[in-house]
């Protein structure tokens, strides 16, 4: 059985008292104690324009399952970011639900049910940006054709 563990450690002195958070989880199949055992593989995409790109397609994964999506902005320039959105297929405002902006060097890990596309767009059309991403999957749809 495959095991995928995720750990995050956060320490801060932003408040009048120190904050220390340390959490870990084992990624499991929906409603099960069985670990996730599939992935889309670690991918890197080069962006040279602000055009939207789908990085996780709804028809690639089993809908409604317990997937986890990892995304990292590989840029070291904090001024450059990616817009990240849940998207039904196009970038128009009626089908897009923004997740947020992912600035240079930042990363995110979030639960994803596989029922909609994940779309990103670079903030810059003049500087090249690289995005690293992967879905830890609870079911990948077999390719046809």
pLDDT in tens, 65-95: 889 999 999 999 999 999 999 876 554 555 6
Q: How confident is the model at residue 51 (pLDDT cuts 50, 70, 90)?
A: confident
- Its CATH class, for the domain covering 29-137, is mainly beta
Domain ranges of the chain: 29-137
pLDDT in tens, 87-122: 765 545 556 788 999 999 999 999 988 888 999 999
Could you give the percent of the chain with pLDDT greater than 70? 91
pTM for the model: 0.86
Buried b (16+ CB within 10 A) or exposed e, 36-66: bebbbeeeeeebeeeebbebbbbeebbeebb
Residues near 10 by Cβ (< 8 Å), separated by ≥ 6? Answer: 19, 20, 21, 22
């Amino acid at each position: 059985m495959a095991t995928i563990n995720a750990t995050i450690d956060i320490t801060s002195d932003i408040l009048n008292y120190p904050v220390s958070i340390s959490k870990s989880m084992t990624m499991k199949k929906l409603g099960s104690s069985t670990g996730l055992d599939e992935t889309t593989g670690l991918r890197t995409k080069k962006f040279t324009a602000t055009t939207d790109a789908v990085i996780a397609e709804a028809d690639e994964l089993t809908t409604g399952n317990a997937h986890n999506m990892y995304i990292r902005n590989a840029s070291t320039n904090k001024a450059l970011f990616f817009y990240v959105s849940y998207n039904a297929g196009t970038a128009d405002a009626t089908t897009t639900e923004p997740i947020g902006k992912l600035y240079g060097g930042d990363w995110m890990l979030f639960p994803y049910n596989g029922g909609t596309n994940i779309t990103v767009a670079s903030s810059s059309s003049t500087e090249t940006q690289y995005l690293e991403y992967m879905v830890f999957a609870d079911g990948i749809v077999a390719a046809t054709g």
